[in-house]
């Protein structure tokens, strides 16, 4: 038996129509542009998807049309095969005979890459019972003599897995469960490791591919942390300026200004999300669910439910402010050498707590005149004055934003690309991540964000770097917790 293998690892994903071949490709190649449809026969032609990093192809996946008439094709091959050692040649002859004709269009198309040297990934649907007719396809693939592995898709909902494994094991070197709609990055790497065992010549390139994908995943996490940190800094220091009559803004103008300000913050959040999604190569995340059915992080940034379930609790916020006040008061106590009998600490804590309480109920969007007194005097004759809207004053705002960013990142990082055309982002347990942070981290975050809020126009490079480090650590911890 002679087989042909190319130097670049190439895998043809084959199987019966509507068994999820395209979904498996989408998830493995992180390619959400692949047409995945509940209608059978969506894939008409064999299509190559190169998994590449920095322009270097790591391996190639080929999406193929499904078997449409395998039993008849096998019958033809059996009639035209002179002996067992001629089976591969018979499959080639079959393809040569029918390619370009109206018969066996799908079979010719899917056998093409296999005969050209691709290893076979045979996909079956674990949620459906095993049926004998499938063996015609298995037999044809066996005749090609190519290395082959069977993947049992939709394995999490499959009640027939043992039957499938028992039936496929004799014809495939490995039979593996792989749920294209739920596979994590680790599961994907683990599958790639199995591919490595499939063909000796591909061991080294696939090993390198696994290493590079691992590095790439770590880079994505780092860059996501930077994106989230940038979002936090930009959002808490965001302001807009507008001109109005010297008497100030009317109620309607104030409402319109607040609306615009909120829209800007929503836009900043969306931009950061698109950046994270692009890092993980999710370009078509569906958003079809009605607003009420969406997870908390997909709802409107300023909705009641989001603010009640995400961010810090009122107690945590008051405590954070009280500690900050106590620290400042403690400094005064230290300056007077303790003569104040810690009155500074107590008063500072009380003032801090009171400030937090007041800010929780105060208007979050502050509108103030931009000009100083001298400028106002100079321009007193002018018809208009300039006002600044923002930054957002609510103490919980950055924590709500951070929570949403963390939840969104989690949903994207663990989302299979096959889902993009079909399902809403749903990976959300609805719990706030920031409420579980250690008090010290919360305070550090609070300080950094307060610093950004105080000087809206500045670049905040130091804060950005430090925030990125904190967020990266948070993401890593969550990653480890989920992997565990």
Partner 1 sequence: MAFALLGKLLDIEWMLRHDEERPSAELARHDRELLGGALPPSPERALELWLEARRREHAGRTLGVRASELLTALHVALVGLSALAGAGAAQAWLRGPGAREPTNVLSFLLSTLLWPLGLLAISLALLLMRGRLGRSVLLEDLYLVGVGLLGRLWRRSPGGEDVARQWRALRRGTRRYRDLEVATLLGAAQWYPIAFHSGAALALTAGALFTDLAFAWSTTNDSLEPQSLAAAFRVVAAPWCETLGVGCVSPELVQATRFSRFTGSYAAPNGAVLSGAWWPALLGCLLLYGVLPRLVLSLGLGVLVRRRSAQLAERVLELRGRLYGVTVGVSRSDPTPVAVAPAVGSAGVGLAPRRALPCWVIGWRGAALDEVELGRVCERLGLSLERRDAAGDGDFDRDEALLATDASPAAVLLLADGWEAPDKATRRFIEALRRGDRPVFVGLLLETEDAPALGIWRGLLGLLADPRVSIEVILPSRRAHAAEVRS
Q: What are phi and psi of 369, to 5 degrees?
A: -70, 140
Q: Which of 1, 4, 40, 246 binds partner 1 (CB under 8 A)?
A: 40
Classified as helix, coil or strand, 61 is strand
Q: Which of 11, 59, 130, 172 binds partner 1 (CB under 8 A)?
A: 130
- Least Å distance, CB 161 to partner 1, is 12
Q: Which of 129, 246, 291, 338 binds partner 1 (CB under 8 A)?
A: 129
Q: Which of these, 157, 138, 158, 159, lies nearest to 149 by C-alpha position?
A: 138
Minimum CB distance to partner 1 smaller for 136 or for 285: 136
Write out the two tokens for 266. Answer: 């929503």
Angle between helices 134-144 and 161-168 (to 10 degrees): 40
The side-by-side arrangement of strands in the sheet containing 240-244 is 240-244, 385-392, 365-369
Instruction: Compute how many other C-beta atoms are within 10 angstroms of the C-beta atom of residue 418.
Output: 26
- Which parts of 49-68 interact with partner 1 (CB under 8 A)? 66-68
Please report which helix (H) or strand (E) contains residue 177, including its range. strand 174-177
For residue 441, count CB atoms less than 10 angstroms from its CB and return exposed for 0-12, middle for 13-18, buried for 19 or more: middle
Please tell me whether residue 136 binds partner 1 under the rule CB under 8 A: yes
Please tell me whether residue 35 binds partner 1 under the rule CB under 8 A: no
Please tell me whether residue 75 binds partner 1 under the rule CB under 8 A: yes
Q: Which of 52, 89, 99, 135 binds partner 1 (CB under 8 A)?
A: 135
Minimum CB distance to partner 1 smaller for 52 or for 93: 93
- Which parts of 348-377 interact with partner 1 (CB under 8 A)? none
Separation between Cα atoms, residue 233 and residue 84, nearest integer Å:
69
CA distances for 469 relative to 376, 377, 399, 483, angstroms: 43, 46, 16, 21
Q: Which of 128, 239, 309, 359 binds partner 1 (CB under 8 A)?
A: 128
- Least Å distance, CB 109 to partner 1, is 13
Minimum CB distance to partner 1 smaller for 16 or for 282: 16
Q: Which of these, 433, 460, 429, 431, lies nearest to 447 by C-alpha position?
A: 460
Minimum CB distance to partner 1 smaller for 137 or for 403: 137
Q: Are 205 and 9 in contact (CB under 8 A)?
A: yes
Radius of gyration (C-alpha) of the chain in whole angstroms: 30
Minimum CB distance to partner 1 smaller for 160 or for 442: 160
Minimum CB distance to partner 1 smaller for 71 or for 240: 71
Q: What are phi and psi of 479, to 5 degrees?
A: -60, -45
Q: Which of 50, 69, 253, 428 binds partner 1 (CB under 8 A)?
A: 69
Minimum CB distance to partner 1 smaller for 230 or for 418: 418
- Least Å distance, CB 165 to partner 1, is 11
Q: Which of 134, 421, 467, 470 binds partner 1 (CB under 8 A)?
A: 134
Minimum CB distance to partner 1 smaller for 133 or for 426: 133
- Least Å distance, CB 272 to partner 1, is 36
Minimum CB distance to partner 1 smaller for 20 or for 325: 20
Write out the two tokens for 362. Answer: 């105060």
Q: Where are the alpha helices (DSSP H) in 237-362?
A: 251-279, 304-309, 314-335, 343-361
Site string for partner 1, 85-124 (x = CB under 8 A): ---------------------x------------------
Q: What are phi and psi of 127, to 5 degrees?
A: -85, -10
Q: What are phi and psi of 45, to 5 degrees?
A: -130, 155
Q: Which of these, 173, 172, 105, lies nearest to 134 by C-alpha position?
A: 172
Minimum CB distance to partner 1 smaller for 36 or for 235: 36
Site string for partner 1, 423-452 (x = CB under 8 A): ------------------------------
Separation between Cα atoms, residue 250 and residue 84, nearest integer Å:
90
Q: Which stretch binds partner 1 (CB under 8 A): 160-168, 183-191, 395-403, 454-462?
A: 160-168
Separation between Cα atoms, residue 440 and residue 442, nearest integer Å:
5
Tell me which residues touch partner 1 (CB under 8 A): 16-18, 38-41, 66-72, 74-75, 106, 125, 128-136, 160, 163, 166-167
């Amino acid at each position: 038996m002679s087989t042909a293998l190319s130097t670049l690892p190439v895998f043809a994903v084959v199987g019966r129509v509507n068994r999820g071949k395209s979904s498996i490709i989408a998830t493995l190649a992180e390619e959400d542009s692949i047409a995945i449809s509940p209608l059978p026969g969506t894939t008409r032609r064999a299509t190559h998807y190169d998994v590449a990093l920095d322009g270097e192809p790591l391996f190639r996946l080929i999406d193929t049309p499904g078997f449409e008439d395998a039993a008849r094709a096998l019958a033809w091959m059996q009639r035209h095969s002179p002996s067992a050692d001629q089976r591969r040649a018979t499959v080639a002859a079959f393809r040569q005979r029918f390619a370009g004709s109206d018969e066996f269009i799908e079979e010719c198309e899917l056998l093409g890459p296999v005969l050209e040297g691709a290893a076979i990934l045979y996909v079956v649907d674990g949620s459906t019972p095993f049926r004998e007719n499938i063996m015609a396809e298995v037999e044809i693939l066996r005749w090609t003599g190519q290395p082959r592995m069977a993947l049992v898709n939709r394995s999490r909902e499959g009640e027939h897995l043992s039957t499938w494994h028992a039936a496929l094991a004799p014809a495939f070197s490995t039979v593996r469960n792989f749920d294209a709609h739920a596979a994590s990055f680790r599961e994907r790497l683990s599958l790639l490791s199995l591919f490595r065992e499939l063909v000796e010549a591909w061991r080294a390139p696939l090993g390198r591919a696994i290493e590079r994908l691992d590095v790439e995943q770590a880079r994505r996490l780092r860059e996501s942390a930077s994106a989230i940190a940038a979002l936090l800094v930009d959002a808490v220091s965001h302001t807009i300026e507008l001109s109005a009559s010297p008497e100030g803004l009317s109620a309607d103008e104030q409402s319109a200004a607040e609306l615009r300000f909120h829209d800007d913050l929503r836009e900043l959040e969306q931009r950061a999300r698109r950046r994270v999604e692009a890092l993980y190569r999710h370009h078509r995340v569906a958003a079809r669910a009605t607003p009420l059915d969406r997870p908390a992080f997909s709802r409107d940034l300023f909705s009641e439910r989001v603010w009640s379930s995400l961010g810090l609790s009122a107690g945590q916020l008051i405590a954070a402010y009280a500690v900050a006040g106590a620290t400042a008061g403690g400094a005064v106590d230290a300056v007077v050498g303790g003569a104040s009998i810690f009155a500074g600490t107590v008063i500072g804590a009380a003032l801090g707590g009171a400030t937090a309480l007041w800010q929780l109920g105060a208007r979050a969007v502050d509108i103030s005149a931009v000009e100083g007194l001298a400028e106002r005097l100079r321009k007193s004759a002018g018809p208009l004055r300039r006002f600044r809207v923002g930054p957002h004053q609510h103490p919980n705002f950055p924590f709500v934003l951070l929570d949403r960013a963390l939840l969104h990142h989690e949903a994207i990082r663990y989302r299979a690309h096959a889902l993009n055309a079909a399902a809403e982002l749903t990976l959300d347990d609805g719990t706030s991540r920031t409420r579980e942070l250690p008090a010290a981290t919360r305070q550090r975050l609070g300080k950094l964000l307060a610093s950004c809020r105080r000087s809206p126009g500045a670049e905040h490079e130091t804060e950005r770097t430090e925030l990125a480090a904190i967020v990266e650590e948070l993401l890593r911890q969550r990653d480890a917790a989920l992997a565990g």
